[in-house]
Amino acid sequence: MIGYFKTPKDEFIHLMKENCKVNGLDEISSEVIALLYASPDEISLEELSKKTGYSLSAICTATKLIERIGLIKRIKKPGSRKAYFYMEKEMSIFSLDLIKRKYEKIIIPTKNKLPDIIKKYKKEKSKKSRQELKIIEKYYEEVVLSEKIVKNIIEMIKKVRKKENEKKHN
């Protein structure tokens, strides 16, 4: 396998691509993420298309998806109409951003909406509704637990990053 890759960068990009695919991303999105992560600078849509060999349309679709997920950022350069993309290189910041996004966009809204849904279910009298209510109440308990876990993870990442930054500056 050592001779298979032309450069260490190629090998790293391959590794990143495989990691992305294991996490459920498609081939194009995985390759875009791998290229952006390996690049010290932002890359234009056109450049991504050239480097991957995929059409501009396919790259555009992939970048929209992975931007919505929060894995990459779109950047506009002054004086340019081109779309550029960048990916955070520090894994702890990247992970923290993803966790915060999940917390803010999924956990909190779900936690806030479920009590009203549960109240409505409690008015229902059928056996099926009672069974469904048990499932939803259990889900609510899991959401509340997830909120506590995610808050702890966020705080832990912040503390570890702070300690690492203090080490670097001492």
Asked whether the predicted pLDDT for residue 1 surpasses 80, the reply is no
Whole-number Cα distances in Å, 142 to 105, 117, 138, 139, 161: 16, 15, 6, 5, 28
CATH, range 2-86: 1.10.10.10
Asked whether the predicted pLDDT for residue 2 surpasses 70, the reply is no
Q: What is the pLDDT of residues 13-55, one digit of tens each?
A: 999 999 889 988 899 999 999 999 999 999 999 999 999 999 9
Domain residues of the chain, as ranges? 2-86, 91-169
Q: Identify the sign of the CA torsion 10, 11, 14, 20.
A: negative
Q: Which two tokens stand for residue 132?
A: 């469904």
Is 68 in contact with 62 (CB distance < 8 Å)? no
Q: Which residues contact 88 (CB under 8 A, 6 or more apart)?
A: 73, 94, 97
Q: What is the pLDDT of residues 43-87, one digit of tens each?
A: 999 999 999 999 999 999 999 999 998 889 999 989 989 999 999
DSSP 28-44: HHHHHHHHHHH-SS-EE
* Helix or strand run (H / E) with residue 84: strand 83-86
Across 134-138, average pLDDT:
96
What are the contacts of 85-94 at 24+ separation with CB within 8 A?
85/32, 85/36, 85/42, 85/43, 85/44, 85/45, 85/48, 86/36, 86/41, 86/42, 86/43, 87/33, 87/36, 87/37, 89/37, 92/157, 92/160, 92/161, 93/161
Least confident of 36-40, 132-136, 147-151, 157-161: 157-161
